[in-house]
């Protein structure tokens, strides 16, 4: 049976949803802050993974926030920092997600959230976004103490869901994640919501590319 592994941050969940809260705190620096925060958050996961010095995703997010505060010369209070970290637990789903999930659920497709996030944080986030009822389960990297795109993580997904590798598909808007899955012989779909964003010029290429999450039903139904 086809089994889908959905990346969470940037695929199901819109990390730019923090911008509204940032606007109230840092004003016209909000968009730049949001973009840099996400960039550094991912960079820190890669660094910790390569160093074999695991710090969980919440630590990466907090350290990236503190970097942005200094880099963009924004004096945040501890209350501001707490508010922004809490906002990361209530980020919205992308507008195209619910239609896609409902169609796939009705077709009997097995669907998992597959994320760098901590299990408790993912549960809160996915519940708030009303995504949990569509999912068969959630697979976090946390038990393996490293991050995507380490090959160990994709094997962890296959082992956790109990499906044959050739029936497992990663669905992600993050190119590095797609490359990681393809490199371990999983199939992978890249969601290119922004046409100005190009895929990496690597030997690993998406099995399929779509421009909206809702178009998954055209592939699997």
Whole-angstrom Cα distance, residue 35 to residue 169?
28
Whole-angstrom Cα distance, residue 59 to residue 64?
8
Contact 40, 68 (CB under 8 A): yes
| Cα dihedral across residues 31, 211, 115, 6: positive or negative | positive
DSSP assignments along 188-220, one per residue: EEEE--STTPPPPSSS---SEEES-GGGGHHHH
Q: How many CB atoms lie within 10 A of CB 24?
A: 10
Residue 34 — φ and ψ, nearest 5°?
-60, -45
Catalytic residue set: 7
């Amino acid at each position: 049976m086809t089994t889908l592994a959905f990346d969470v941050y940037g695929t199901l969940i819109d990390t730019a949803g923090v911008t509204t809260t940032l606007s109230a705190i840092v004003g016209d620096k909000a968009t730049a802050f949001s973009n840099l925060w996400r960039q550094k958050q991912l960079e820190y996961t890669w660094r910790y993974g390569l160093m074999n010095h695991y710090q969980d995703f919440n630590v990466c997010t907090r350290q990236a926030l503190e970097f942005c505060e200094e880099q963009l010369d924004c004096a945040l209070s501890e209350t501001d920092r707490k508010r922004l970290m809490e906002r990361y637990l209530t980020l919205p789903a992308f507008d195209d997600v619910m239609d896609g999930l409902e169609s796939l659920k009705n077709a009997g497709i097995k669907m998992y959230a597959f994320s760098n996030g901590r299990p408790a944080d993912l549960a809160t986030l996915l519940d708030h976004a009303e995504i949990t009822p569509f999912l068969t389960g959630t697979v976090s990297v946390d038990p393996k103490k490293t991050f995507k795109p380490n090959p160990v993580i994709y094997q962890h997904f296959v082992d956790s869901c109990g499906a044959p590798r050739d029936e497992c598909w990663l669905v992600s808007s993050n190119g590095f994640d797609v490359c990681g899955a393809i490199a371990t012989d999983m199939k992978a779909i890249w969601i290119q919501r922004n046409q100005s964003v190009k895929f990496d010029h690597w030997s690993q290429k998406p099995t399929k590319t779509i421009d909206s999450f809702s178009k998954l039903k055209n592939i699997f139904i």
